[in-house]
Amino acid sequence: MFKFRNDSVIRFNLLVIFLFTVVGIIIIGKAAIIMFWERDDWNKIKEKNIKHNVPIEAHRGNILADDGGLIVSTLPRYRMLFDFQYINPNNEKDEKEINAKRDSIWAKHLDELCTGLNEILPGTSVNELKERFRMGLTPNKKGRKRGGFQPYRGSISYSQYRKIKELPIINLGKKYSGCYTQEVIERKNILGNTGNSTFGIVRNAEIDGKKVNEVNGLEKKYNEFLMGVPGEGTKAKMRGKYILREEKQPVNGYDIQTTLNTQMLDICHNALERVLREKHLAAGWAILMETKTGDIKAIVNLARNVKGNGRVEYVDTIGNIKYNQTANHALCDLNEPGSIFKTVAMTAMLADKKLTTKDSVIAYPSRVHNFNGHKIHDEMYRDNGTGKYSMSDAMMYSSNISMVQFIRRAYPNNPEEYTNTLQRFGLTENYNITDNEATPYLTLPGTPKWNGYSLNSMSYGYAVGMTAINIVSFYNTIANGGKQMRPRLVKAILDNDNVIKEYPTEVINRQLFPKAVADTITGMLVKVVNGISITVNKNDWRYGKRDGTGKAAYSEMMTIAGKTGTAKAYEGNKKLMSFCGFFPAEAPEYTLIVQMMYDSDIDPRSKEEKATNNYGGGSTSALAFKEIAEKIMTGKFYIPIENAIDKQGLAAPRIKRGNIAEVGYLLAGIGTPDSLLKIEKSDKWGDVRFNKQGIPQISAREIDADRVPDVEGMGAKDATYLMQKCGLNVVIKGYGTVKLQSIPAGRRPIEGDTVRLTLQP
């Protein structure tokens, strides 16, 4: 018996060993099959679930203003979508249960959801949202509900996204709400569309059937700094979801600090748009330059666009619209500039010492004269009693006939000397400020385009192709007393606060022409604006009247020096109208060019009105120039408050709505007797008015922090403070007191939203 047990154990052990051996052989065999015969198949499965070298996009750098303030940045945005089709149709029972419960939840909370969305997403009414959701929830003929339904067409901010996720139904998750979001990275200009043509765009586009990253403007010019260095990662599928593992960290792009001033950009934009809209013009652009440094403080390009509903808008864009053929009119348009070029011709003749201010030419009352078969026309003529025009007269009345006589006298047999001087002035230079800047040209002697009329034409702004930046740079040299500065748009490349690369101001020529010449030309330009017409007949209405072509730019605030220009520089019934100059003329701080495009096809005036009162640079661009100059210089003139005190009586000024606590300080500052300061220190906001006795009367009310405040009638400071206090970003347009706020008072504020405040004097 004992022997039997030993034999059984041995046999059992042998059996176990045998089984393990067989299993081992099977495992090794299967491993060998996988390693050698099925290797390619398993590698394919692996590659299907693991993605190597996945690019991780770097955060693009910002575009900053002259003071370091943010202008263009990359912001995450979201699109909200709803899918009312159940995602697992294979389980029919579960699908029916989920749909039944979902329908019950939506029926119960639909009103609550739409009310919440209406408060978060402005411009969508509760009833519109209800109707859209009901359409999405209603099954089609096949019994299926809608998928990919988008109740709100625009994108939403991160703060809006977070609030929406907390709303009824949506807070239950996708299973019952069907709500999901797509992240969209947007390049955002906080100034709206102001300056877009200069800043440029970054967007995905399809060119010749290929998807590319389209970049232009400053975005392209400084792309190597802005774009950063992408990182790399590995994307692996785990439990049905892709997990991105970062292998190489991305390096964010650098910021570029420009010379642009946001307030001056806004002033130029508003003035330009006002005149364009008032005169029904096709397009307009302006460049504002700081005289001493050559820094460009503002570039604005506006083009007329008619929306589908017939509404006319003026936009600063590089979009493909009718009057926007180039990426940036101010830098990329080549035009025959017309009479603003007379300043260049006058400067050349004086700098080359061909003529002096004592020279004069015949003034032709007929306003037309034939030079060797070439008829020259003048728009205006004034009889000064001499029958002659000096250089200054020719500029004041913008006389083409006089300019031709002067240029033919100065360069009778050597036109090359004139064109060489123009080239020396830098008028053919491409400053390469931004992407696609055009290169100006001159018609040169000895070339096929040169003919017997070329010298004549070049004296008053034809037979040349100029950009606005080249013209304004030349005028800036005059304002600088002959010192030529290189135009500058970018100051530095920054990594946070560290300067990576600096672009200092640059003097091209310390004395391009004598200061005496610059001073003489300045006097002529002042006369264009301020000049008085003296006629032989004292009964003539023009006697003693301001009568230069630039009189519309005349300002009581300061002396403006400038020149008008009107040229048929476009095909068809279009022309270019300009005003270029600087201010204040005695000590110039800024140089400015304003140019506008006229198209008679969109001019609503009658044929008779067009014929008798045709637009020119003096009646269009000069108006915008004056407005820009006065608004910019308003903050430059400081009058001590003691000079404003009325020592003869009570000071009872009109006080804007705002913080009442500050009114006492104001009244004390302008000398109101202490006995009248009845306003106690308060955190209240409201109105202060004066009764007939000069006693301040308070009308105060509390501000609800949970509601958008009513800031109409307040100044920018108080209005901005209250709006930012309830979490809103503020964009200010205009100056004075608030006349309009884009988000109505009383609505619940959404943190991170932008409210636009329109101010008027």
Q: What kind of fold does domain 644-760 have according to CATH?
A: Trypsin Inhibitor V; Chain A (3.30.10)
Q: Which two tokens stand for residue 553?
A: 């730019």
The pLDDT value given to residue 649: 47
- The residue ranges of every structural domain in the chain are 2-37, 60-227, 263-634, 644-760
Number of Cα atoms under 13 Å in the Cβ half of residue 77 = 14
Residue 597 β-bridge partners: 283, 576
The pLDDT value given to residue 654: 60
The pLDDT value given to residue 603: 86
The CATH number assigned to the domain with range 263-634 reads 3.40.710.10
The DSSP secondary-structure symbol of 338 reads: G
The pLDDT value given to residue 680: 47
pLDDT digits (tens, 9 = 90+) for 270-315: 999 999 999 999 999 999 999 999 999 999 999 998 877 778 889 8
Q: What kind of fold does domain 60-227 have according to CATH?
A: Penicillin-binding protein 2a (Domain 2) (3.90.1310)
Q: Which residues lie below 8 Å from residue 374, measured CB to CB, with a gap of 6+?
A: 452, 453, 456
Are the C-beta atoms of 760 and 736 separated by less than 8 Å? yes
Q: Give me the DSSP letters along 114-154.
A: HHHHHHHSTT--HHHHHHHHHHHHS--TTSPPPSSB-SS-S
Are the C-beta atoms of 524 and 558 separated by less than 8 Å? no
pLDDT digits (tens, 9 = 90+) for 560-605: 999 999 998 666 688 999 999 999 999 999 999 999 999 988 888 8
Mean pLDDT, contiguous 10-residue spans, the chain (761 residues): 59 74 75 65 57 70 92 82 62 67 84 86 76 75 62 75 86 80 77 87 67 78 88 61 63 93 94 94 96 97 85 78 70 93 98 95 93 88 89 96 96 95 96 90 94 93 96 98 97 92 96 97 96 65 75 94 88 88 96 95 83 86 97 71 49 61 58 46 60 62 75 80 78 79 81 79 69
Q: For residue 752, count other CB atoms closer than 10 A to its CB.
A: 16
Give 238: exposed, middle or buried? Use CB within 10 Å, 0-12, 13-18, 19+.
exposed
Ordered strands of the 590-599 beta sheet: 312-315, 296-306, 283-290, 590-599, 574-583, 561-567
pTM: 0.71
Q: Give me the DSSP letters along 665-726.
A: HHHHHTT--GGG--PPP---EEEEEE-TT--EEEEEE---TTS----TTB-HHHHHHHHHHT
Helix axes 515-530, 342-351, angle to 10 degrees: 150
Helix axes 92-120, 158-165, angle to 10 degrees: 130
Q: For residue 677, count other CB atoms closer than 10 A to its CB.
A: 15
Q: How far is CA 110 from CA 97, 124, 170, 761, in A?
A: 20, 15, 11, 46
Are the C-beta atoms of 146 and 135 separated by less than 8 Å? yes
The alpha carbon of 228 is separated from its chain's Cα centroid by a whole number of angstroms, namely 23
Q: How far is CA 403 from CA 40, 376, 698, in A?
A: 85, 10, 65
Q: How far is CA 374 from CA 68, 389, 412, 549, in A?
A: 55, 21, 16, 24
Best CA proximity match to 282, nearest among 612, 577, 553, 552: 577
Q: Is the peptide bond before 584 cis (omega within 30 degrees of 0)?
A: yes
The pLDDT value given to residue 722: 80
